[in-house]
Amino acid sequence: MLRPSFTNSPDYIQSLDRGLQVLRAFNRERPRCTLSEIATQIGLSRAVARRSLLTLQHLGYVAAQGRQFFLTPRVLELGYSYLSSLDLTDLAHEPMEKLSQRVGESCSMAVLDGSEIVYVARVAVRRLMSVALGVGARLPAFAASMGRVLLGDKSDDELTAWLRENTFRSITAHTVYKTRALQAEILKVRRQGYAFVSQELELGLCSIAVPVRSATGQAVYGLNVSMRYSDDVQALARKKMLPALHRAREAIESAMARDGWRPLTISRNA
């Protein structure tokens, strides 16, 4: 959500905001939408939504078939510029490949973006979640292992503010979503240096994550391994996955230091 003080300023471009809202109206559940559906989804009038859609269509980011609109591959340019600026492909690919081979499971890296994590790199062994995950995929940070290690890096005041500004819900019967319990869990993650999440995002899915830090010590990425649930999965994660994660993290951090890498942080007004 944008700060009211800025939305009322002369520097705020309302048409740009609306155009981006239209782009975000499309997702996995709604790959094709009618004008009315988009207007309803983002809370704009049909006339305003229509102008945004037609402009995006003219620019090549949206196409139409009959009454339905859909995104074109050109929207990938918007995310690719960010990803390419991170140099993640060169810096993290080999350590992540070795990690995945070592543990026989998929591994991912993500950044924190407001209330969500955004996947910026992934080596998949097999699909575990019912939702397909790839670069650009988003998950609620509070219930994801990578989100919790990144939240654990916040100061007490920053974490308190983040918890106050966001809302949480029960995704499965195992989800920790009440504010006080969630805060305690994040503080535990901060103390132990890793996060283990069991079936909080989806039944049958578990993951363990560690923070990847810049030369200044800031946690800039979460690095995780995901696995199927079993009675002994937590012990297995600590014994097998965690040491392998530490080795991969050290390799990535060393590569970042050698390359003179500097973090590009996502900043979203709250």
Q: Mean pLDDT, to the nearest integer, of 213-242?
A: 93
What's the sign of the alpha-carbon dihedral 211, 215, 218, 221?
A: negative
Query: Are the beta carbons of 117 and 151 closer than 8 angstroms?
Result: no
How far is residue 7 from each of residues 10, 12, 16, 17, 268, measured CA to CA in Å? 8, 5, 12, 10, 14
Give me 231's structure tokens.
């009675």
pLDDT at 136: 79
| 67-81, 137-151, 158-172, 199-213, range with the lowest pLDDT | 67-81
Give me 125's structure tokens.
């062994």
| Domain architecture of the chain: domains with CATH | 4-71 (1.10.10.10), 78-259 (3.30.450.40)
Q: How confident is the model at residue 268 (pLDDT cuts 50, 70, 90)?
A: very low
Give me 19's structure tokens.
């155009």
Q: What is the DSSP string of 118-175?
A: EEEEEE-SS--SSS---TT-EEEGGGSHHHHHHHTTS-HHHHHHHHHH-----SSTT-
